[in-house]
Amino acid sequence: MLEVTVSDIGLDRNTNSPVVILRERDGARILPIWIGAAEANAIAMELKGVKAQRPLTHDLLKQVIVGLGGELRRVVISSVKENTYFAELLIRRDDHVFQVDARPSDSIALALRLNAPIFTSDQLLDESGLQTDEPAPDPSLDADKLKEYLEKMDPQDFGKFNP
């Protein structure tokens, strides 16, 4: 398993669908996953540190997991079948580990809220990911430099995927 991070979230200009871009932690491969608007909003809010006036669904699930004494150990983006991605939550409570089937978008939103790592397989990155020549953005870059980096990504690379 390889750790990935949320590199960006944006809108696919061809389909007008939100896309979350996962980047291999110490590599040059990215994995675009098309997601719903509500989930994109939940991920974007968490990335920007914006809190809703009332708890969103992912905030509620976070409180349920923590309240029941659980810990989200990791999220695994496990496979893709017929352009649909699958993910699992690995939740630990005491000496039990529970594996919960979930959508990648919900899993990512929850991982961000609980500071849990996100993983995928080398095989999935090879089959569904894209290789980029651009180095990973420096986490210390300011917003303008990050925007400039992301604008250099070629949107045509995403054309081989269907949401």
Centre a 10 Å sphere on the Cβ of residue 50 and count the other Cβ atoms it contains: 9
Cα–Cα distance, 160 to 150 (Å, whole number): 19
Cα–Cα distance, 30 to 24 (Å, whole number): 6
Cα–Cα distance, 154 to 37 (Å, whole number): 22
**How far, in Å, are 10, 71, 82 from residue 74 at the CA level?**
24, 9, 25
pLDDT grade, residue 127 (50/70/90)? confident
In order of their start, the domains of the chain are 2-135+143-152 (3.10.690.10)
Structure tokens at 2: 């390889």
CB proximity list for 68: less than 8 A, separation 6 or greater: 93
Residue 141: is its pLDDT beyond 70? no
Q: Is the pTM here over 0.75, yes or no?
A: yes
Three-state SS for 129?
coil
Structure tokens at 103: 């959508």
pLDDT tens digits for range 39-57: 999 999 999 999 889 989 9
Torsion angle defined by CA atoms of residues 42, 48, 53 and 59, in that order, rounded to the nearest 10 degrees: 50
Query: Please, what is the average pLDDT of the chain?
Result: 84
Cα–Cα distance, 37 to 46 (Å, whole number): 14
